[in-house]
Amino acid sequence: MHNAFILNLFLYFPEDKTEYIPAAFWMILFGTAAVLTFRWIIKLSKKEEEKTKHAEEEARRRAEENQS
């Protein structure tokens, strides 16, 4: 009984559907920003992976030279 009442406090369906336009705009804006941020993080991660691989190869090469 109380749960239904509490949930109904947060439900609001406007009669004028144009009130959804700003919400849709902000949802699209933030969704796009989230996707772009995610792709940027992946791109940076790949660059860091390449740097790490290069550093590992260089360290391995130096270790082999020191053993010889």
How would you write the pLDDT of the chain (68 residues) with one tens digit per residue?
Answer: 567 777 777 777 788 999 899 999 999 999 999 999 999 999 999 999 999 999 999 999 999 988 86
Amino acid 60: pLDDT:
94
Amino acid 23: pLDDT:
92
Q: Is 11 left (phi over 0), alpha (psi -120 to 50) or beta?
A: beta
Write out pLDDT tens, residues 31-45.
Answer: 999 999 999 999 999
Q: Domain total for the chain?
A: 1
Q: Is 7 helix (H, G, I), strand (E, B) or coil?
A: helix
Alpha carbon distance 24, 29 (integer Å): 8
pTM of the model: 0.65
47 lies in which domain range? Answer: 21-67
Alpha carbon distance 26, 46 (integer Å): 30
**Would residue 16 count as lying in a domain?**
no
**Would residue 40 count as lying in a domain?**
yes
**Would residue 1 count as lying in a domain?**
no
**Would residue 36 count as lying in a domain?**
yes
Alpha carbon distance 8, 67 (integer Å): 74
Query: Could you tell me if 20 and 14 are in contact, meaning their C-beta atoms sit under 8 angstroms apart?
Result: yes
